[in-house]
Structure 1
Amino acid sequence: MNKEYALGLDIGGTHITVAVIAINEMRVLDFSVHKESFDSNLPADEILDIWEKAIRTSWKNSGIGNLIGLAVCVPGPFDYTNGICWIKDQAKYEHFYSLNIRELIRERLNLSNDLPIVFDNDANCFGKGEFFKNVENSSKKLMAVTLGTGLGASFIDNGKAIDSGTKVPADGELYNIPFKTGIAEDYVSARGLLSGYKAASGLEISNSLELFCLAKTGDVMAIKVLEEMGEDLAEIVIPWLKSFGADSFIIGGKIANASAYFLPSFQEKIKIAGIEVTVLVSADNEIAALLGATSLLCKM
Structure 2
Amino acid sequence: MNKEYAVGLDIGGTHITAAVIDMAEMKVMDFSVHKETFDSNMPVNEVMDVWEKAIRTSFENSKVEKTSGLAVCMPGPFDYTNGICWIKEQSKYEHFYGLNVRDLFQDKLDLSVDFPILFENDAVCFGKGEVFKDSDNLSKKVMAITLGTGLGACFIDKGISISTGDLVPTDGEIYNLPYKEGMAEDFVSARGLLAGYFALSGKNVNNGLELFNLAKTGDAMAIKTFEQMGEDLAAIVIPWLEKFEADSFIIGGKIANASEFFLPSFNAKIKEAGLEITVFISTDNEVAALLGAASMLYKA
TM-score by length of 1: 0.98
What residue in structure 2 maps to residue 256 of structure 1? 256
Amino acid at match of 2:173: E
Report the CA distance between 1:66 and its aligned residue. Answer: 2.3
Whether 1:17 aligns to 2:6 is no
Q: 1:287 & 1:27 partners in 2: Cα distance?
A: 9
Q: Is the 8 A contact 1:26 1:132 kept in 2?
A: no
What residue in structure 1 maps to residue 117 of structure 2? 117
Report the CA distance between 1:159 and its aligned residue. Answer: 1.5
Q: How does 1:33-72 map to 2 (within 5 A)?
A: 33-72=33-72
What residue in structure 2 maps to residue 203 of structure 1? 203
Structure 1's consecutive aligned runs of 4 or more residues displaced over 2 angstroms after TM superposition are none
**Percent identity between the aligned chains?**
69
Q: How does 1:209-220 map to 2 (within 5 A)?
A: 209-220=209-220
Report the CA distance between 1:2 and its aligned residue. Answer: 4.2
What residue in structure 2 maps to residue 222 of structure 1? 222
Q: 2:30 & 2:72 partners in 1: Cα distance?
A: 18
What residue in structure 1 maps to residue 160 of structure 2? 160
What residue in structure 1 maps to residue 178 of structure 2? 178
Report the CA distance between 1:30 and its aligned residue. Answer: 2.7
Q: How does 1:75-114 map to 2 (within 5 A)?
A: 75-114=75-114
Q: 1:31 & 1:256 partners in 2: Cα distance?
A: 25
Whether 1:144 aligns to 2:144 is yes
Amino acid at match of 1:83: G
Per-residue deviation, residues 122-143 of structure 1 (Å, max 9, x unmatched): 0000000101111221211110
Q: 1:137 & 1:33 partners in 2: Cα distance?
A: 26
What residue in structure 2 maps to residue 188 of structure 1? 188
Amino acid at match of 1:126: F
Per-residue deviation, residues 235-290 of structure 1 (Å, max 9, x unmatched): 11101111111111000000000000000000010011010111010001011111
Report the CA distance between 1:299 and its aligned residue. Answer: 2.0
Amino acid at match of 1:257: N
Q: 1:207 & 1:9 partners in 2: Cα distance?
A: 24
Q: 1:65 & 1:109 partners in 2: Cα distance?
A: 16
What residue in structure 1 maps to residue 29 of structure 2? 29
For structure 1, which segment, 60-69 or 217-226, has the greater mean C-alpha deviation from structure 2 after superposition? 60-69
Q: 2:148 & 2:199 partners in 1: Cα distance?
A: 20
Q: Is the 8 A contact 1:142 1:247 kept in 2?
A: yes
Q: How does 1:278-297 map to 2 (within 5 A)?
A: 278-297=278-297
SS at match of 1:25: coil
Amino acid at match of 2:195: S
Q: 2:45 & 2:137 partners in 1: Cα distance?
A: 41
Amino acid at match of 1:286: E
CA-based RMSD: 0.9
What residue in structure 1 maps to residue 270 of structure 2? 270
Report the CA distance between 1:51 and its aligned residue. Answer: 0.5
SS at match of 1:263: helix
SS at match of 2:31: helix
Per-residue deviation, residues 104-148 of structure 1 (Å, max 9, x unmatched): 111111112221000000000000010111122121111001000
Per-residue deviation, residues 71-118 of structure 1 (Å, max 9, x unmatched): 000001111111011111111111111111101111111112221000
TM-score by length of 2: 0.98
Amino acid at match of 1:140: K
